[in-house]
Amino acid sequence: MPPAPYLDRTPRPDGNKRRIVIIGGGFGGLACARALASADVHVTLIDRRNHHLFQPLLYQVSTAALSPADIAVPIRRVLAHAQNVDVVLADVQGVDTLLRHVQLSDGGYVPFDQLVVATGSAYNYFAHSEWAASAPAPKTISDARTIRARLLKAFEEAESCAETVRRSALLTMVVVGGGPTGVEMAGTVAELARYTLRGDFRRIDPTKARVILVEAGPRLLGAFPEVLSAYAYRAPVRLGVEVRLNTTVQQIDAKGVQLADKRIEAANVIWGAGVRAAAGAAWFGGTENRTGRIPVDGNMAIIGQTNIYALGDVALFLQNGKPLPALAQVAQQQGYHLGRALRHPGAPAPFQYRSNGDTAVIGRHAAVYSFGHLNLTGRVAWLLWAVAHVYLLIGFQKRTLVMVQWVWRYFTFERGARLID
C-alpha cells in the first residue's frame, strides 16, 4: 500500500471478493463491465468522463445533425442495475504493476487483482501536435462542439464580411484524411452547406462554399476494397467536394493549410487522419510499438504481465497474423468476451473476432458496406450502416430518438442542432 496521504479510492472495499478494475467506459470497457454484472466479483470501472460516448456519430454532432446528449449516456446509468459494479470518475495516471494498483491523478489509488485496460485511442497528428489547435478532430463532445461552432460561425462571419479574399477563406473547409472519418465529415459538411443552409443567408450563397478533402494516399477508404474506394470518390465529388489524392499536408495554421503544391486559405480545417493508442501503452514500459498499441496475446492478456488485460483500440491483437482494426465492434466483442471469461477464475478462452461487415457513410443515402466478398454501395449500404449504428447505440430510448431524428432529416434536410455555443 502506498504511504499517506494517498487514499484507497475503491468505493466499497470488500476484502473477500476478487477485485477487477476496468479503466475506460468506452465500447470495450463498458461491454466488459456489463458482462460481469451480478458475478461473484467486485468491479470498479474508472473513467475520466462521466459518460459513454458513441464516437461513430460524433461527426453528426460536429455538423449540427444531432445534439451531444443524443450520442452520450451516463456510465452510471448504464450500470445502475449491476450491483457489484462501482463507477469512479477519475483520470488514471499510471499502473503500479508491483503494488497492483491503479494510480489516479488526484493522488488516490485503486487496488486490483485483475486489471482491464480499455483506454481507447487518440488522433495522431504525426509529430505535429501543434496542428491540433488549428485543425480539431472529432474525438470528444467538446471537440465536436468546437467544430460545429467554428463551421457555423464561419458562415455567419462571411455574411457580414465585405472583403472578398477573407470571405472566400471563411467559406472554405478543408478535411484532412480520406479514411471513414474524413469521408463522412467531408460529405456531411458539404450537405450542410449545399442543402441545410441554402436560402438562410442574404449576402452569401452557402451552396458555393468549397469543401476540400485531402488524402495522402492514392485512394479514399484505403482499408476497403478498391471498388468501394472508387464509389467513395465519386459520391462526395457529386456533392461538390473537391477530392485531392496523393497530397500531403505540410503545415496547418490558423489561416489555412500548406499542401505540397499549394496553399489553401481556409477558416476551417478538420483533422480526420490516423489514430494511435491513448495513454496506456506507456504504463507498461517497453511494450510500445509504432501505433502505440499494447501487444496482447490471444486471451487479451498483456504480454509480460500477469492478470492484466488490454482490449479495444489500445490493444494490438493479432488475428491470422494481422492486427484487428480500431473499431467499435471489435472493442465491444472483446469486452463481452473478456467480461464473460473473468466471471470465473482461471485464464480466459482465446478470443476470435467475427466481423459484421465494415461500413462508412458519405452522405444522404450514400454509403459503402463490405462483408467478405459482398460489396454494397448506395441506399442499401446506407440502410445497413444506419441499422448497424443504431444497434450499437446503448439504451433503447436513444435508439428510438436517433432514428426518429434521422428519418425526419432524411426527408427535410433540417438540422435541429444548429447552435453556436
Ligand X SMILES: Cc1cc2nc3c(=O)[nH]c(=O)nc-3n(C[C@H](O)[C@H](O)[C@H](O)COP(=O)(O)OP(=O)(O)OC[C@H]3O[C@@H](n4cnc5c(N)ncnc54)[C@H](O)[C@@H]3O)c2cc1C
- Cα distances (Å, whole numbers) of residue 19 to 6, 26, 43, 192, 345: 19, 20, 6, 49, 12
Segment lying near ligand X (by CB under 6 A), choices 19-27, 165-173, 362-370, 402-410: 19-27
Choosing from 138, 177, 178, 295, the residue that interacts with ligand X (CB under 6 A) is 138
Q: How far is the CB of 204 from ligand X (least distance, A)?
A: 28
Q: Which entry of 159, 184, 226, 265 is annotated as an active-site residue?
A: 184
Q: Does 187 bind ligand X (CB under 6 A)?
A: no
CA 38, CA 43: separation in Å to the nearest integer?
Answer: 10
List binders of ligand X among 297-336 (CB under 6 A).
312-314, 326-329, 331
**Amino acid letter for position 33:** A
Segment lying near ligand X (by CB under 6 A), choices 42-50, 218-226, 239-247, 259-267: 42-50
Q: Does 287 bind ligand X (CB under 6 A)?
A: no
With both helix axes pointing from N to C terminus, report the angle between 328-342 and 378-392 in degrees, rounded to the nearest 10. Answer: 30
Cβ-based nearer residue to ligand X, 77 or 255: 77
Segment lying near ligand X (by CB under 6 A), choices 116-124, 171-179, 213-221, 251-259: 116-124
CA 268, CA 213: separation in Å to the nearest integer?
Answer: 12
Q: Using DSSP, how many helices (H) and how many strands (E) does the chain show?
A: 10, 26
Q: Does 25 bind ligand X (CB under 6 A)?
A: yes
- Cα distances (Å, whole numbers) of residue 229 to 113, 235, 239: 46, 10, 16
Q: Which of 119, 135, 96 is nearest to 29 (CA)?
A: 119
Choosing from 279, 401, 403, 417, the residue that interacts with ligand X (CB under 6 A) is 279
Place of cell 505535429: 128
Q: How far is the CB of 16 from ligand X (least distance, A)?
A: 27
Q: Does residue 5 have a cis bond before it (omega within 30 degrees)? A: yes
Residue 184 annotated as catalytic: yes
Q: Does 44 bind ligand X (CB under 6 A)?
A: no
CA 189, CA 239: separation in Å to the nearest integer?
Answer: 10
Cβ-based nearer residue to ligand X, 171 or 277: 277
Segment lying near ligand X (by CB under 6 A), choices 7-15, 18-26, 107-115, 251-259: 18-26
Q: How far is the CB of 124 from ligand X (least distance, A)?
A: 12
- Burial-class residue 109 by CB neighbours within 10 Å (0-12, 13-18, 19+): buried
List binders of ligand X among 48-87 (CB under 6 A).
48-49, 55-56, 58-59
Q: Does 108 bind ligand X (CB under 6 A)?
A: no
388 three-class SS: helix
79 and 45 Cβ atoms separated by less than 8 Å: yes
Cβ-based nearer residue to ligand X, 46 or 82: 46
Choosing from 20, 27, 155, 228, the residue that interacts with ligand X (CB under 6 A) is 27
Q: How far is the CB of 409 from ligand X (least distance, A)?
A: 18
CA 189, CA 175: separation in Å to the nearest integer?
Answer: 9
Residue ranges that bind ligand X, judged by CB under 6 A: 23-29, 46-49, 55-56, 58-59, 91-92, 118-120, 138-139, 180-181, 278-279, 312-314, 326-329, 331
Known catalytic residues?
184
